[in-house]
Structure 1
């Protein structure tokens, strides 16, 4: 452990320290899993004493929320780059599903947000996090409207929220603990097993087709 770790004095140095801690958290989360990504483990990986982390983050939950936001921002940027003009709704659903599939850590953190990550955190911090998440949702909705020009932004925002809720519930069901997974392999329970990739692809397309049907009905009604 690096006992010479010094408190950053300038905003630039503080950001370097924060990035170092976040990089350590990424490695711990990848190596040890969500439940074992403790503040102690992150501090050890970063080479600092645990008390040093509190100079930059108020809790483990804030650190993991920062990773969630960074992953979501990356996914949103990739989606915006891929949508260069109008596309079929089925293709839009496929693209959005693929975005989540290609960011499994984001899916994991989203699935733990309401039940774990929004606890042990102050109102000011979660307020700042929510603003960044809302900005991501707004950018995604605008991209969806570019892909399907007859959609209104409110319709697109509903689609974003529905996909978020889908992933938050589906991901843990499709990635159960080992002992649950063993039971689901038994013949009696195989029909209860969920596979994330095919299910999220099917559900994303079904939800967006439903929104599109309502949007078309609105347009036809004038």
Structure 2
């Protein structure tokens, strides 16, 4: 466990911030968002909890920064995947189907990102100041705009609706992720009643169905606008 002396320069403060973020990211690799605590983070990073809160106003503020980091990494990785899978001269239906497939497959291995998306509105945006909330919302909107441009370049038929569609994708990822991870009690209920078990969601197929329906409807609306 590292130990730190009091940060006296901007460079030292930035090193502390980075250590806190990197330590929290490592914790997220081991445990769900809801189980990440400031007490354990403080112990791992080698700072008192009060000192951690000098750099970030709350646990949620830390997690929002990590959500931004993971979101940007996802967006950085998408162009190569999209270019490999989507032929520019393919029919719109084929391009739409492949776009959804790329989005779903690109998210299957990003457990932390999906977990953070699922916690964004209900948890992460709650225990923060108006300043942090506003800064985060501007960042999130920038991420949506950047991703919308990526998708619109491969599916120009989306037009201006690409931004709304992208924002809806993020919301659907969080919602499907939550429902695809039932509680222990619900798992017991599924085991006890096979009729209920039929309604258990598998993340990738469920997300593919939802995004296909969403994209099909969006393209239909833009075609008649």
**What is the TM-score when the length of structure 1 is the normalising length?**
0.89
Q: How far 1:28 sits from its partner (Å)?
A: 2.2
- Call closer, same or farther: CA 1:7–1:127 in 2, change over 3 Å: farther
8 Å contact kept, 2:42–2:52: yes
Residue 129 (structure 1) aligned to one of 128, 131, 136:
136
**Are residues 1:206 and 2:213 paired?**
yes
Q: Which moved further from structure 2: 156-165 or 182-191?
A: 182-191
Residue 181 (structure 1) aligned to one of 183, 187, 193:
187
Q: Which moved further from structure 2: 44-53 or 75-84?
A: 75-84
Matches within 5 A, 1:61-100: 61-84=60-83, 86=88, 88-100=95-107
2:126 matched residue in structure 1? 119
Distance 1:147 1:9 in 2: 49
8 Å contact kept, 1:28–1:45: no
Distance 1:166 1:203 in 2: 8
8 Å contact kept, 1:24–1:42: yes
**Are residues 1:148 and 2:174 paired?**
no
Q: How far 1:14 sits from its partner (Å)?
A: 2.0
2:165 matched residue in structure 1? 159
Q: How far 1:192 sits from its partner (Å)?
A: 2.0
Give the secondary-structure state (helix, strand or coil) at the position aligned to 1:83. helix
**Are residues 1:45 and 2:44 paired?**
yes
Q: How far 1:162 sits from its partner (Å)?
A: 1.6
**What is the TM-score when the length of structure 2 is the normalising length?**
0.88
Q: Give CA deviations for 1:7-47 in whole Å, capped at 9, x if unaligned.
A: 32333322221111112112223324333211001111112
Distance 1:32 1:141 in 2: 31
Question: Gapped runs of 5+ residues in structure 2?
Answer: none
2:14 matched residue in structure 1? 15
Equivalent residues, number: 216
Distance 2:104 2:10 in 1: 37
Runs of 4+ more than 4 Å apart: none
8 Å contact kept, 1:20–1:46: yes
Question: Gapped runs of 5+ residues in structure 1?
Answer: none
